[in-house]
A and B are shown apart, each in its own frame.
Chain A
Amino acid sequence: MNTQFVDSFRKPQTTGNLLLDMNPLSKLIICFLLGISAIIAQSIPYSFALCILYYFLAAAMGKLRSFSGIFTKIVVMILLFLLVLRQLTVKGDTVLFSIFGWKWTLEAVLVALNVSGYILGFSGAVVLFACATSARDLMYSLEQIGVPHTTSYIILASIQTIADLKKSANTIFESQKARGIEVEGNVFVRAKAFFPIISPLMLGAMSAAEEKSISMDARAFSLETRHTFLRELPKVSAGEKILVGLFLLGFIALIVCKIVL
């Protein structure tokens, strides 16, 4: 048995990384404010500067690989989609270049960059928060501020159910394959193999959910008493509270500027 592992439960759980060890609710507030600020600012330089900042923050948290793996895909998809869409819908006079007679205008590019800027500014904040915070830490923090135990369980269990469904689908695919049914190949072959498993997959998930709720009952989940926690997070420091306060002030200042200017 690893005594270091057991001892880790005797004190608040930390990773040694200042940003990662911030309270999940502080991270949530900061990421939310950053994301919303991109929508309010409606500024191309600000939105894309935010996106770069997210990469730096992810690197500082040691989460660059997981963050960039998701966010870069979103950036490419959103940019490409909106650039093409706006060229079709926005009319402009300043032609930048032409592809087989299809003229790309500066006006359409600017509209596309503006819209994609605030979409990416917000979605980047969401991805950053998801990479920087585990669901159980968030639920712990929410329970600490009075969110019911049941609510936090439902959220956590729903996240786990997605992983369970994927596992069940793979099991059904494997058993189909073992019976000689074609499940690999082009999109049509995969779709043909996928549709018949939807019903058993859903029925299985419903049955598992029922059994799981009995299991939770066996663990005295519904006992109306003060629940304790084996795993604790550090208390929110004064510095962290000030930081969140500064972000709030900055956000309010942005709104004021937007109204006044």
Chain B
Amino acid sequence: MALIEIRDVTYKYPFTKKPALHDVNCSIEKGKFYGVIGENGGGKTSLCNLMRGLIPHFYNGELTGIVNIDGTEVRDWNTGELAAKIGYVFQNPFTQISGIKPTVFEEIGMGLENLGMEKEAMIHRILEVSKELDIEDLLQKDPNAMSGGQRQRVAFASILAMDQDIMVIDEPTSQLDPQTTEKVFDIIGQLKNSGKTIILVEHKIDLIARYCDEVILMQGGTIVRQGATADILTDTSIEELGAVVPQTALFGHAMVRAGKSLERIPITVEDAVEQIRKWKEVQA
């Protein structure tokens, strides 16, 4: 059984005429890493809101269709229980800071307090997460007086600390430098390896190619493609749907067009190197 099942869903935000999601169908399997891609305004964040249950619990609007989360219809979930089940990292780190905690240490601990975790376990978890995200030097700082990148890491750490089974992550690296972005993706990769289900919205296609098991491509509020990452990202027709094909895949297609057939079209740099090495061995 799928962990999240979305059937024939159409959704309009309150006071809007055009649906943000239109005839959406998809299923999310347990333990898989999904990358959600597509042009701006394509419905990616709305899909996240739906999977996290903010639609319909927070955004009333008009919702038709069926959304099942872990076998229970989304409308029947208690919002608090949903929060304990699904972690959600928002696009905007400035509003993800609670504003009532004077230090980053307490900010990260806030979700754990709400989950009722004992104090020593809380301290241990905060230190563990801050070490993973390399924010130990920020622990004593005021979260309200930090830069966008620092806030983004703290917001991510605050949700990561809660250790939910499902993580919905909406552009977690939009304000981060390349090095920190790599670190965040490594951590998301580790989460996947520890059995968590991840739904990630991201524009950095090379990182999607490297980490995700499946890709969901959205355009105009609907899912236009869903499938294995390699299948979706090597298909150059996705460019017409507002997505970007990785440079390595374009390179692979160019090789094939030039009569230099590869074992498969690579979507990551590592795979491209491997394919060229194999091709050279065959040539030799």
Q: A-B pairs with CB below 8 Å: how many?
A: 122
Q: Which residues of B contact A5 (CB under 8 A)?
A: 105, 139-140
Indicate which residue in A223, A226, A230 contacts B123 across the interface (CB closer than 8 Å).
A230
Provide the bound-state CA to CA distance between A225 and B58, in Å.
Answer: 20
Q: Are B113 and A230 in contact (CB under 8 A)?
A: yes
Q: A1-B139, A230-B109 are in contact. Are A218 and B81 (CB under 8 A)?
A: no
Q: Are A217 and B54 in contact (CB under 8 A)?
A: yes
Q: Are A136 and B102 in contact (CB under 8 A)?
A: yes
Q: Which residues of B contact A212 (CB under 8 A)?
A: 95, 98-99
Indicate which residue in B99, B111, B116, B123 contacts A160 across the interface (CB closer than 8 Å).
B99
Asked if B33 CB lies within 8 Å of chain A CBs, one says no
Asked if A199 CB lies within 8 Å of chain B CBs, one says no
Number of residues of chain B lying within 8 A (CB) of chain A: 48
Provide the bound-state CA to CA distance between A225 and B130, in Å.
Answer: 25
Q: Shortest CB–CB separation between residue B79 and chain A, in angstroms?
A: 5
Q: A1-B139, A5-B105, A228-B116 are in contact. Are A219 and B98 (CB under 8 A)?
A: yes
Q: Shortest CB–CB separation between residue A249 and chain B, in angstroms?
A: 37
Provide the bound-state CA to CA distance between A157 and B97, in Å.
Answer: 11
Q: Are A218 and B83 in contact (CB under 8 A)?
A: yes
Asked if B265 CB lies within 8 Å of chain A CBs, one says no
Asked if B127 CB lies within 8 Å of chain A CBs, one says yes
List the A residue with the shortest CB-CB distance to B107: A219
Asked if A178 CB lies within 8 Å of chain B CBs, one says no
Q: Shortest CB–CB separation between residue B29 and chain A, in angstroms?
A: 23
Indicate which residue in A161, A226, A232 contacts B116 across the interface (CB closer than 8 Å).
A226
Q: Which of A215-231 contact B (CB under 8 A)?
A: 215-231
Provide the bound-state CA to CA distance between A156 and B122, in Å.
Answer: 22
Q: A220-B111, A220-B162 are in contact. Are A228 and B117 (CB under 8 A)?
A: yes
Asked if B159 CB lies within 8 Å of chain A CBs, one says yes
Interface residues as binary, B143-163 with A (CB distance below 8 Å gives 1, 0 otherwise): 010000000000000110010
Q: Are B78 and A224 in contact (CB under 8 A)?
A: yes
Q: Which residues of B contact A157 (CB under 8 A)?
A: 99-100
Q: Which of A5-21 contact B (CB under 8 A)?
A: 5-6, 9-10
Q: Which residues of A contact B109 (CB under 8 A)?
A: 230
Provide the bound-state CA to CA distance between A230 and B127, in Å.
Answer: 13
Q: Which of B101-119 contact A (CB under 8 A)?
A: 101-102, 105-106, 109-119
Provide the bound-state CA to CA distance between A161 and B120, in Å.
Answer: 31
Q: Are B114 and A227 in contact (CB under 8 A)?
A: yes
Indicate which residue in A161, A215, A229, A230 contacts B96 across the interface (CB closer than 8 Å).
A215
Asked if A144 CB lies within 8 Å of chain B CBs, one says no
Asked if B84 CB lies within 8 Å of chain A CBs, one says yes
Q: Are B58 and A217 in contact (CB under 8 A)?
A: yes
Asked if A214 CB lies within 8 Å of chain B CBs, one says yes
Q: Are B80 and A222 in contact (CB under 8 A)?
A: yes
Q: Which residues of B contact A9 (CB under 8 A)?
A: 105, 119, 123
Asked if A97 CB lies within 8 Å of chain B CBs, one says no
Q: Please report B residues at the A interface, Cβ cutoff 8 Å.
A: 52, 54, 58, 78-81, 83-84, 87-90, 92, 95-102, 105-106, 109-120, 122-123, 127, 130, 136-137, 139-140, 144, 158-159, 162
Of the A-B pairs whose beta carbons lie under 8 Å apart in the complex, a sample of 7, sorted by A's number, is A5-B139, A217-B54, A219-B110, A220-B80, A220-B111, A228-B117, A232-B119
Q: Which 7 A-B pairs have the closest CB atoms?
A: A223-B80, A211-B95, A219-B111, A220-B83, A222-B80, A230-B109, A156-B100
Further 19 A-B residue pairs, CB within 8 A, beyond A218-B87, A230-B106: A1-B136, A1-B139, A6-B123, A160-B99, A160-B144, A211-B95, A212-B99, A218-B89, A218-B111, A219-B158, A220-B162, A223-B116, A224-B80, A225-B80, A225-B116, A228-B116, A228-B118, A230-B122, A232-B119
